[in-house]
Structure 1
Amino acid sequence: MSPTIGALSLRPLDPLNDAELLHSWVTHPKAEHWMMRHAKLQDVEREYMRIAAHEHHDAYIGLHDGVPAFLMESYDPQYVELVGLYEPQPGDVGMHFLVAPTDRPVHGFTRAVITVVMESLFADPRTRRVVVEPDVTNKAVHALNEAVGFVPVREIEKPEKRALLSLCTRERFLATRGVAI
């Protein structure tokens, strides 16, 4: 928790109860890289029901002082998203995150969110690396990823986008936090 940011936490996403909220986030113009801009409420509900039923994909609502403010997904890249696009290693965990659109942005909030997301993933001792594949044009997220220790590997072609495959080890993340291992 930061005195200027407030408390950030995660809870499991409830696909039915959270669908309307998620729909407002993923269809907002600021969420263009989420690729659901034209989704209907039922599409969002269906997508998060699919994720909830998948044994290798999870979704969470991020809370800011108890109020929903971001979305985080984690997945096993051996089975989801990156199958055949890179060589997964034991302990790899894929991640997506989306900060909810707001009319009152808080300086440093998105950096605090990605830090909490990374802390939650590395809280599992089995996690050795976090893998991301943002759109190559999403320069803002590339800068955030670099700030928390991600290293670009290469561009990859996914069915829905050209992506920048990047990896972050536990050691690199902790080094950005000033923690030596």
Structure 2
Amino acid sequence: MTRALPEPSFRRFAAGIGTLSLRPFDLSLDVTTLHGWVTRPYAQYWGMLTASLADVRAEYERIQQTGHHQALLGEHDGRPAFLMERYDPAYDAVGGAYTPAPGDIGMHVLVAPPEPGERVPGFTGAVFEMILDYLFSDPLVDRVVVEPDIRNTRIQALNERMGFRKHSIVDLPGKQAWLSFCTRDQYSDAVYATVPMTEAG
């Protein structure tokens, strides 16, 4: 008998993109898919290029058991399309690089590689907006914390577009990272500010 997928815990429709949703990561259903993503060269900054399937399963079992770190699988029109993790910085290595404040939440995002001929313009930006909408839908969250590798300039540019501000370069396990923050107001100003008609075309 086919096992039913967990119900999405958050869903948004993005014009020109489709329906994006988040549901709890399911070890028995999602590990093989995730292993196929994290072992491709594009995912080098995820740090699992040489990981076996068992390695990925062990890491996400560990995450599930922490109580302060959660993985969710993102879907695009019902198909696996990205992974997001939310975590409490006070229990993470980044918490040793700054003083976490009440209302801080950490975020990691990995978007799946597009299938040949199926690249959707604006998809990654839409995923980021949906994830930040999800995080800020929690009234206890005041600020999102990210720590991308300093070499990952593409994700830094996307973070800045979403309202993140760079704070400092910090040493974390396996990388030097740009510690960056985005408050609720910074996100709102960056994404939902009115665009002048001359720029909108």
Say which of 149, 155, 163 aligns to 1:135: 149
- 1:30-74 CA deviation, whole Å, 9 max, x = no partner? 111101000000000000011111111000000101111000000
The alpha carbon displacement at 1:84 in A equals 1.1
Contiguous gaps of at least 5 residues in structure 1: none
Counterpart Cα distance in 2 of 1:71 and 1:131: 17
- TM-score, normalised to structure 1, is 0.96
The alpha carbon displacement at 1:2 in A equals 2.5
- 1:83-120 CA deviation, whole Å, 9 max, x = no partner? 31111100000000000011322110000011111111
Q: Secondary structure at the match of 1:47?
A: helix
Kindly provide the amino acid, as one letter, of the partner of residue 172 in structure 2: K
Q: Secondary structure at the match of 1:83?
A: helix
Kindly provide the amino acid, as one letter, of the partner of residue 55 in structure 1: G
Q: Secondary structure at the match of 1:10?
A: strand
2:172 is the alignment partner of 1:126: no
Counterpart Cα distance in 2 of 1:167 and 1:9: 24
* Identity score, percent: 49
The alpha carbon displacement at 1:81 in A equals 3.3
Preserved contact between residue 111 and residue 144 of structure 1 (Cα < 8 Å): yes
The alpha carbon displacement at 1:15 in A equals 1.8
Preserved contact between residue 93 and residue 127 of structure 1 (Cα < 8 Å): yes
Q: Secondary structure at the match of 1:101?
A: coil
Counterpart Cα distance in 1 of 2:93 and 2:42: 22
Say which of 164, 185, 192 aligns to 1:178: 192
Which residue pairs with 1:162 in the alignment?
176
- TM-score, normalised to structure 2, is 0.87
Kindly provide the amino acid, as one letter, of the partner of residue 77 in structure 2: D
Q: Larger C-alpha radius of gyration, 1 or 2?
A: 2
Aligned residue pair count: 180
The alpha carbon displacement at 1:159 in A equals 1.7
Q: Secondary structure at the match of 2:127?
A: helix
2:33 is the alignment partner of 1:25: no
Q: Secondary structure at the match of 2:14?
A: coil
Contiguous gaps of at least 5 residues in structure 2: 1-12, 195-201
- Root-mean-square deviation (CA, aligned residues, Å) is 1.2
Counterpart Cα distance in 2 of 1:3 and 1:77: 33
Kindly provide the amino acid, as one letter, of the partner of residue 149 in structure 2: D
Q: Which runs of 4+ in 1 moved over 4 A?
A: none
Which residue pairs with 2:119 in the alignment?
105
Kindly provide the amino acid, as one letter, of the partner of residue 79 in structure 1: Y
- 1:140-181 CA deviation, whole Å, 9 max, x = no partner? 00011001100000000112100000000000001122259x
Preserved contact between residue 15 and residue 52 of structure 1 (Cα < 8 Å): no
